[in-house]
Amino acid sequence: MNFNFKHEWIETNIGLMAVLTMLAISVGGLVEIAPLFFIDKTIEKVEGVRPYTPLEQRGRDIYQREGCYLCHSQMIRPFRDEKLRYGHYSLAAESQYDHPFQWGSKRTGPDLARVGGKYSNEWQVQHLVAPRSMVPESVMPNYPWLLSTQLDISDTADRMKALRKVGVPYSLTQEEYKANVVKFGETVAPLLHIPDAQKNLLEQANFGNYDGDRSGVSEMDALVAYLQVLGTMVDFSKYDDDAFVNDR
Amino acid sequence: MSEQKLQSQTVQTTGHAWDGDLQEYNNPLPVWWVYTFYATFIFAIVYWTIYPSWPFGKGWIGGLSDITYVNSAGETKTHSWNTRALYLEDMNKAAVEQKPYFDKVTSMSYEQISRDPEVTAFILSSGKALFADNCAACHQSGGQGVVGFFPNLTDDDWLYGGSYEKIHQTLMDGRRGYMPSFSEVLSGGQIDQLANYVASLSGLEHDAAEAKAGDVLFHNETAACYYCHGVDAKGRKEIGAPNLTDGIWLWAGVAAAPSGEGKVAAIRTVIAGGLSKGVMPAWAGRLSPEQIKVLTVYVHDLGGGV
């Protein structure tokens, strides 16, 4: 059989051209992304990483709503200068329950991957309300409404159910709850139980008193609770500094 | 017409013809470009053999390039090239250069450090960077603090003590300030009296009769202010209760108040409402012991005392 390929076949058949174009550009994605799903070490095996509590998760929603990610990354790269300023480099495991992750690459402000525990709640609240009262050279906008707006907690369980659908191990049934006890321990598992979402949220907000005002739960409570947990789940003192080298 | 003919003779076409006479020029790529293109293929193959490249089974091909580093357990290890090993190598290199200095910082006492100009210079420069990264957000870049929020580190007034040991303890474990609210324990009049008394302690404008009554309240069991602030009102550093006699106001907005009455009112606000702020985070988990010692000396040099 004489197979005589002619460029003209493609150029004169727009349907064929579209299919072939799509194939060509998907190669980049296939070779770079697809193998990550089959490589064992993509997500490091590390203790302590858990899904966000309902309050933290709502804080994360506000983080996204206000577009914090437009100026703040959450990805400390493995460079000496980043370690000195921000702390241990980020692990893939640390954002395994983030949907979507907040890695980013735009740093108008500093990286926030390990901002948890670095500053007091008061600082966070005052800094969000009026950034320049704390950092005179800051260009961050003011977010005063976070303090005066009450958090809408009516749909907390629904939001957790949606995340459960994409793989976050929030528990809906007793079996799932028991699995979480095994996986995350007895203190964490109850916080991940969807039927108790509102109760857990209110308890954490009242106990943590993040915005310094115990009457009601403001959006500030949620956002500060989220910021204060960022990067604190893994205790790196338990690991040698090269514990995660073999994972890459 | 003759010009068109000339072109069709000198330039090749692809040979297609649409609508009878529509033709397409065929301009081959320059030879140098084509060979550069082939060279990138060769480059890619060389690159794959040196650096990690293709996924293979449940892992990937590591490449021939190695990195040697020393880990925190002191073991020397070699690993195929990756950014995390490269990072450790980079950290090692800096650690080796800084080791003589950090060794001195670790082994010397605070007294010895203060008398050694070389170590002091090291602490001033490395401490400045550490302070800027970790402390300046609250205490400001010069350590001057923010009235109403974070204490000034450059004056000689220390809530928890300004000795090396106390500053070290503050950095390691953090602090948490607290003053109870007196609005339910005392009447409004009693709080006024106390506010006037506290104003009188540092020579602010006050009502003498009110202040006298406040003096009694301060020292008896009704308000019992002396429990924390001391009988002489000079504070108790072991619990972070401030000195009320030195004219330094961190929490009450005294400096900003325009009138004498306003200053008393600012003091009154604190007595009535109490405080549950003044939280200093603990740094033991975030910074290394040497870094905390460097910061201790740096902060002490800003305005340390006893």
pLDDT score recorded for residue B23:
85
Task: State the angle between helix axes of B289-303 and B164-173 in degrees (0 to 180), rounded to the nearest 10.
Answer: 130
- DSSP letter for A52, please: P
pLDDT score recorded for residue B7:
52
pLDDT score recorded for residue B9:
56
Phi, psi for B175 (deg, rounded to 5):
-140, 160
Domain A54-234 class in CATH: mainly alpha
State how far residue B207 is from chain A, nearest Cα, in angstroms.
33
Q: A245–B88: do the CB atoms touch at under 8 Å?
A: yes
Q: Which of B58, B60, B82 faces A245 most closely, judged by CB atoms?
A: B82
**Is the entire prediction scored with pTM above 0.80?**
yes
Could you report the per-residue pLDDT of A99-127, keeping only the tens digit for each? 999 999 999 999 999 999 999 999 999 99
Query: What whole-number distance in Å separates Cα of residue A21 and Cα of residue A61?
Result: 37
**Is any Cβ of chain B less than 8 angstroms from the Cβ of A240?**
yes
pLDDT score recorded for residue A29:
85
Amino acid present at B224: A
**Is any Cβ of chain B less than 8 angstroms from the Cβ of A35?**
yes
Residue with tokens 């203190």: A187
Query: What whole-number distance in Å separates Cα of residue B164 and Cα of residue B161?
Result: 9
pLDDT score recorded for residue B260:
87
Is pLDDT larger for residue A215 or for residue A22? A22
CB atoms inside a 10 Å sphere around CB B209: 10
Question: At CA B37, angle to CA B36 and CA B40, rounded to 5?
Answer: 90
Query: What whole-number distance in Å separates Cα of residue A140 and Cα of residue A163?
Result: 30
- Residues of chain B found within 8 Å of residue A245, distances taken between Cβ atoms: 77, 79, 82, 84-85, 88
Asked if residue B78 lies in contact with residue B88, where contact means CB atoms within 8 angstroms, the answer is no
Q: Which of A40, A126, A136 faces B58 most closely, judged by CB atoms?
A: A40
Q: How sure is the predictor about A28, in pLDDT bands with cuts at 50, 70 and 90?
A: confident
State how far residue B79 is from chain A, nearest Cα, in angstroms.
8
Can you tell me the mean pLDDT for B145-156? Answer: 92
Query: What whole-number distance in Å separates Cα of residue B82 and Cα of residue A44?
Result: 15
Q: B149–A126: do the CB atoms touch at under 8 Å?
A: yes
State how far residue B1 is from chain A, nearest Cα, in angstroms.
28
Can you tell me the mean pLDDT for B149-164? Answer: 92
- Residues of chain A found within 8 Å of residue B90, distances taken between Cβ atoms: 79-80
- List all residues of chain B from 4 to 43 with a beta carbon under 8 Å from chain A: 14, 16
What share of chain B has pLDDT > 90, as a percent? 75
**Is any Cβ of chain A less than 8 angstroms from the Cβ of B77?**
yes
**Is any Cβ of chain B less than 8 angstroms from the Cβ of A3?**
no
- List all residues of chain A from 129 to 168 with a beta carbon under 8 Å from chain B: 133-136
State how far residue B215 is from chain A, nearest Cα, in angstroms.
31
What is the chain A residue with the closest CA to B90?
A80
Amino acid present at A18: A
What domains does chain B contain, in order, with CATH numbers?
2-60 (no CATH), 68-99 (no CATH), 108-176+280-303 (1.10.760.10), 188-276 (1.10.760.10)
Q: Which ipTM value was assigned to this complex?
A: 0.86
Could you report the per-residue pLDDT of A216-234, keeping only the tens digit for each? 999 999 999 999 999 999 9
pLDDT score recorded for residue B1:
45
State how far residue B51 is from chain A, nearest Cα, in angstroms.
12
- Residues of chain A found within 8 Å of residue B280, distances taken between Cβ atoms: 120
SS3 A150: strand
- Residues of chain B found within 8 Å of residue A136, distances taken between Cβ atoms: 140
pLDDT score recorded for residue A88:
95
Three-class SS of chain B: CHHHHHHHHHCCECCCCECCCECCECCCCCHHHHHHHHHHHHHHHHHHHHCCCCEECCEECCCCCEEEEECCCCCEEEEECCHHHHHHHHHHHHHHHHHHHHHHHHHCCHHHHHHCHHHHHHHHHHHHHHHHHHCHHHHCCCCCCECCCECCCCCCCCCCCCCHHHHHHHHHHCEECCECCCCCCCCHHHHHHHHHHHHHHCCCCCCHHHHHHHHHHHHCCCCCCHHHHCCCCCCEHHHCECCCCCCCCCCCCCCCCCCHHHHHHHHHHHHHHCECCCEECCCCCCCCHHHHHHHHHHHHHHHCCC
Range with top average pLDDT, A6-10, A69-73, B115-119: A69-73
pLDDT score recorded for residue B18:
80
Q: B16–A8: do the CB atoms touch at under 8 Å?
A: yes
Tokens of A168: 């976050």
pLDDT score recorded for residue B263:
93
Could you report the per-residue pLDDT of A173-206, keeping only the tens digit for each? 999 999 999 999 999 999 999 999 999 999 999 9
Q: Which of B58, B82, B88 faces A241 most closely, judged by CB atoms?
A: B88
Q: A133–B146: do the CB atoms touch at under 8 Å?
A: yes
Query: What whole-number distance in Å separates Cα of residue B115 and Cα of residue B104?
Result: 12
Q: Of B55-59, B66-70, B167-171, B244-248, where does mean pLDDT reach its minimum?
A: B55-59
Please, which residues have CB within 8 angstroms of residue A241's CB and are 6 or more apart in sequence?
B71, B72, B88, B91
Q: How sure is the predictor about B306, in pLDDT bands with cuts at 50, 70 and 90?
A: low
Could you report the per-residue pLDDT of B122-137, keeping only the tens digit for each? 999 999 999 999 999 9
State how far residue A145 is from chain B, nearest Cα, in angstroms.
21
What is the chain B residue with the closest CA to A123?
B138
pLDDT score recorded for residue B121:
93
Is pLDDT larger for residue B13 or for residue A1? B13
pLDDT at B293 over 50: yes
CB atoms inside a 10 Å sphere around CB B192: 21
Q: A241–B85: do the CB atoms touch at under 8 Å?
A: no
**Is any Cβ of chain B less than 8 angstroms from the Cβ of A121?**
yes
User: Which sequence spans correspond to the domains of chain A?
Assistant: 7-37, 54-234
Asked if residue B181 lies in contact with residue B273, where contact means CB atoms within 8 angstroms, the answer is yes
Q: Is the peptide bond before A195 cis (omega within 30 degrees of 0)?
A: no
Q: B94–A80: do the CB atoms touch at under 8 Å?
A: yes
Q: A83–B87: do the CB atoms touch at under 8 Å?
A: yes
pLDDT score recorded for residue B59:
87
Can you tell me the mean pLDDT for A41-50? Answer: 93
Asked if residue A171 lies in contact with residue A188, where contact means CB atoms within 8 angstroms, the answer is no
